[in-house]
Structure formats: structure tokens, C-alpha cells
Amino acid sequence: MSKQNEAITAVYADEDGNILDAPGMRGMGRTGRENILLKPEDLIPLPESADLMLLPDRLAVGQSADGETMPISGLAVAAILPAGYTRLYMPAYERAEEAQRLPLYGYTAVVVYKDELCCAAVYTDENEKWDPVHYNTKELAKLVKRTKKDLPGNRIVEQVGGCSLKWHCCTAQNLFYRRWECGIPTSPVCNANCFGCISLQPAECCPSPQERIKFRPTPQEIAEVGIYHLSVAPDGIVSFGQGCEGEPSLAADNIAAGIQLIRAKTKKGQINMNSNAGWTEGIKKIVDAGLDSLRVSIISARDEAYDAYYRASYHLDDVKASIRYALDHGVYVSLNLLYFPGFNDREEELAAWQAFFRDLPVQMIQVRNLNIDPDAFLDIMPEPQGKILGTRHFIAALHEEFPQLVIGSFSHYVES
């Protein structure tokens, strides 16, 4: 193979949206605010189910043969990765002053290497259940109608039916496919104001990719869906805390009563909640009712960084208290770690996470690419302190000290 084919080459999009390589310009990625050269070990072939997206008002950036980092006369290109992949670097770009905020996606660097499109990512978790081939099938609309007929008038079914067909939510669709993990949204309100919430955004921000629930399901509605799903679904999980709702623990009374009704009818499957875990009293009620697993959304183990992102009515100490209560009561706890290259993998963040896990031995971290405009995110976060260690180093350091900690991307079915 020629050296030219072995080079990592920058890509860009022309004015017609065609994606082209830029011969002589070395491919770069971004970590934090820094553009760096990519190496072969940073790259994997672009997954078949990945999408490519152009970044408006942002010029692609590469490095010339004489070592100068410079813009290319074309738009930057990003990969939007399927679940199970953790990005190592974001696209390198030069942003125009008038550029609008980017929509809420996890932008990943794309280059050409060995004559094929590659992205800067690592495969974090192999879980065939979340392969896109299993979703949005031709019969989905018919299956939604079937479940609406089986559970007439249930507002949760109406909500997740819309989420399935309009927003293509996989967790919503599993109710209608009668399998695996299905969502039961319960709360129209939240106790946080996350920067980049996927279900509710102020007008001056960016469009939300989902539509928040507008009602409060009753315990009977919750139980009806839970019993229906857990009674028939292989590896059945029902989950509170979906993209189309606020914070489920704020509906603790209804969820706790719903769980009790479910467990009075069936012991099958697993009852899970995805939560920010900020309201400990609500978490306690739901744990005491029979919760099996808790996945806590979290971005940092440092108070100042946590508060800057969540902008909540609670603080990190409240989250820790909730996790401690869940662990003490036999609940399987995982963290939904919102991951941003050049932020989570800094020295100060790693040190804080090591202290966190020494105190709270949770069972799993699910590393999730943070869907956000990179510049907007960094503008609101505290100034960085230590150096960037890199995503691979971050994950390896946690593996080394906490070998029992599962590091993946998905909720796993927990055998009781």
C-alpha cells in the first residue's frame, strides 16, 4: 500500500453537500478547544449505521504538509454514531462569528484513512439488542395499533406510540415489539435545568429532539403498561425516566404505587429508573417500593462542574445520598456518564471520579456521548485546570483501580 493511502486525510463538504477528502491536508480532531492530529489507533471504520452531518458556518480544519493548522474551503463534517460507540475526538473546525448553535447531537471526527471513511471512536459495549436493524420496521405502525387496542385509553401508550413513530425512540418501540427494555414516562416536570436537555429547551437555545409528556399518569396506568410488558417480554425491563419526560422521582408517589401494583401481579422482569437522583426522599420511596435498578445521569464528580451543567435545585451531595441509599438496599446502580472529550478526561475529573467510586461502589458506568454544541458547552463550564489525559487513559485508569466496575454503553438485564 502506498504511503498516500496510509495517510490520515481531512474531509470536508462542498456547497452541494458532497463529502470530499482534502489531499495533502492531514486529518485532525478536537478535544476540548484544542485541535490535534489524529493517529491510526484513534480510528475505526465508519459504522454502517452511523450518520454523517455537515456543520453549518464551521469550516473544516486540517494540517498542511509544512505543519500549519488551517481551514479548508468547505464545511466541517461529523459522524453521529450509533449507541455502543464512544467518541474519542470531535471534528476540528473553525467557527464563523455569526454561527448558530448546533442541534443536540454527539459530533465525532471523520477522516479518510486507507481509502475509507473512518471516525475517531472506540466500540464500548456490544449489545445486539440496540442494533438499529431491530427498530423502525415496516410493521411498527401496525404493532402500535395492536397495543392501543390491548390497552385502550391508556395515556402512556398514546405517548410512547407518538415517541415511536415521530421521534423513533427505541425504548418506546420495545413496548410494541413486546421485548427487552421499554419506557414508561411519568413526570412532566424536572428539578434540573440541564444545559442541553433533550426534551425541553428555551426558545433561544436549540430544538429538542423529543417532546415532553404533558400529563401525570396514574398508578393504574403505570401498572397496566408494566404488567403488560413484563408478562410477555423476553429480558423484560420497564424504565421510568425517558427522554420525553422530566425527573421521574418527582412522581414518586405514583411510581411507588404503580410498582406495588405491578409486583402484586407479576414477579417477572426488571423495574428500572433513569434519574438525576437529586431528590433523595423520592428515590427512597421508589427504592422501598421494589425498584431493581437505578441509572443515574451524571456529568462530573466535582461540585462546581456538576452545578454548572445541571443548574438544579439540588446538589451533588444529594445525588450521592440517593446512590448510597439505593446501594444499601440492594439496588443495582449504574451511572449514565455524559461524556465530552477534553472535559471528563482531564486530570481533575479523573481524580474526582476515583474518589467517588472509592466511596460509592456502583456496579456500572454507561459512557454516553454528550449531545451538545461543543463551544456552547465549554462556554458554561468551569475553566479547565489539569491536562487532558485522553479517553482511553480515563477508561483504563478506572478499569485498573476498580476492576469490578463494568464500563459499557447500555442498561444490562440484571439477573436476580
Tell me: do 79 and 145 sit in the same domain.
no
- Per DSSP bridges, beta strands 19-31 and 51-63 are antiparallel
Q: pLDDT at position 4, please?
A: 53
Q: Which of 80, 107, 123 is the last residue of a domain?
A: 123
Query: Residue 193: helix, strand or coil by DSSP?
Result: coil
Considering the domain boundaries, does residue 89 fall inside one? yes
Rg of the chain taking only CA atoms, in angstroms: 22
Considering the domain boundaries, does residue 20 fall inside one? yes
Strand partners, 45: 118
**Beta carbons of 385 and 347 less than 8 angstroms apart:** yes
* Amino acid occupying residue 275: S
Question: Per-residue pLDDT averaged across 173-201, rounded?
Answer: 86
Considering the domain boundaries, does residue 86 fall inside one? yes
Look at 254 and 413; give whichever has higher pLDDT.
254
Residue 32 has pLDDT above 50, yes or no: yes
Helix (H) or strand (E) holding 93: strand 93-95
Considering the domain boundaries, does residue 79 fall inside one? yes
Tell me: do 79 and 161 sit in the same domain.
no
Considering the domain boundaries, does residue 414 fall inside one? no
Residue 408 has pLDDT above 90, yes or no: no
Q: For residue 132, give every residue at least 6 positions away whose Cβ sits within 8 Å of its Cβ, in sequence order, or none.
A: 49, 82
As given in the structure block, the three cell numbers for residue 375 are: 463551544
Considering the domain boundaries, does residue 416 fall inside one? no
Structurally, how many domains does the chain consist of?
2
Residue 83 has pLDDT above 90, yes or no: no
**Beta carbons of 243 and 184 less than 8 angstroms apart:** no
Q: Which of 106, 123, 140 is the last residue of a domain?
A: 123
Q: For residue 208, give every residue at least 6 positions away whose Cβ sits within 8 Å of its Cβ, in sequence order, or none.
A: 104, 197, 198, 199, 200, 201
Tell me: do 354 and 227 sit in the same domain.
yes
Question: Per-residue pLDDT averaged across 287-292, rounded?
Answer: 98
Domain membership of residue 28 as a residue range: 3-123
Q: How far apart are CA 241 and CA 245, in angstroms?
A: 7
Q: Which of 105, 123, 141 is the last residue of a domain?
A: 123
pLDDT band per the 50, 70, 90 thresholds, residue 42: very high
Q: pLDDT at position 43, please?
A: 98
pLDDT per residue as tens digits for the range 190-237? 988 888 776 554 434 444 455 778 989 999 999 999 999 999 999 999
pLDDT band per the 50, 70, 90 thresholds, residue 6: confident
Count Cβ neighbours within 10 Å for each residue of 257-285 and write b for 16 or more, e otherwise: bbbebbbeeeeebbbbbbbbbbbbebbbb
As given in the structure block, the three cell numbers for residue 415 are: 439477573
Tell me: do 273 and 307 sit in the same domain.
yes
Tell me: do 72 and 150 sit in the same domain.
no
* Amino acid occupying residue 242: Q
Considering the domain boundaries, does residue 413 fall inside one? no
Considering the domain boundaries, does residue 415 fall inside one? no
